[in-house]
Amino acid sequence: MPSSETNGSNRTLERAAAILDAVGRSAVSASELARQTGLSVSTTHRLALQMVDYGFLRRTDGGAFRLGDRFVRSALENAGLPVLRELRDQTGETAQLWVKRGDERVCLLSADSQHELRAILPIGARLPLPQGSSGRLLAADEETLTELAEVGWIESVGIRTPGLGSISAPVQTEEGIIAAVCLAMPLARVVKSPGQDYGDQVISAALTIADAVERRRQTL
């Protein structure tokens, strides 16, 4: 016969699945989740917070819940790689996708330059915020957001690593900035500045990924 521990685990999984089913395209409050699942508000709130910890849900500034980074990450990976490869082929430089994890940024995807002299970091690399153009963008301080509003991108010129530059643009959905597309290159190949040379291409790549993520979310 199933043990009480197994029965308890099954009940937890069933409740978690019910909560996921109840979370649609828009943010849902704990009380609405409780109404849809038939669970108490306290039980729903506790489970939802645990699911936030594991990335199955994310919490909005208003305290509501929606599908979390585990689902967004898959959409980012599926949409991001072909776009990064196209950006790399257009510019000849290394194109990367970075996401925020606590006080760090993590390289989720990378399409490396084919030049012998190139700027690369491996997938999974972690750097502290706000280092680099992507770090500044994902940290999203007031000065950076003002700069972003003016030109649509953030650049770094030999600040984190002497001799290297980068430009980053936000992958932005209705939830805000969820990732950053970064193009990194040796400054020896820069004509004016990273942003002035490649701003339009990087912004276009970020918008393409954001659109794909939104379409994917609508099917979940």
Q: Which residue, 39, 20, 192, 81, is CA-closest to 200? A: 192
The pTM for the full model equals: 0.73
Cβ distance 131 to 139 under 8 Å?
no
Helix axes 4-22, 30-37, angle to 10 degrees: 120
152, exposed or middle or buried, with CB in 10 Å at 0-12, 13-18, 19+?
A: middle
Q: How far apart are CA 102 and CA 99, in angstroms?
A: 10
Q: Which residues pair with 173 in a beta bridge?
A: 176
Q: Which residue, 188, 187, 186, 202, is CA-closest to 119? A: 186
Residue 6 pLDDT exceeds 60: no
What is the per-residue pLDDT across 138-189, written as a single tens digit (0 to 9) for each?
999 999 999 999 999 999 999 889 999 999 999 998 778 999 999 999 999 9
The pLDDT, as a whole number, for residue 81 is: 93
Helix axes 4-22, 41-53, angle to 10 degrees: 90
What is the per-residue pLDDT across 126-144, written as a single tens digit (0 to 9) for each?
999 999 999 999 999 999 9
Could you check whether the bond before residue 130 is cis, i.e. omega within 30 degrees of 0? yes
Average per-residue pLDDT for the chain: 89
How many angstroms separate the Cα of 12 from the Cα of each of 21, 54, 85, 95, 135?
Answer: 14, 14, 41, 41, 37
The pLDDT, as a whole number, for residue 88 is: 98
Q: Which residue, 128, 138, 136, 90, is CA-closest to 111? A: 90
Q: Return the structure tokens found at 85.
A: 């490869």
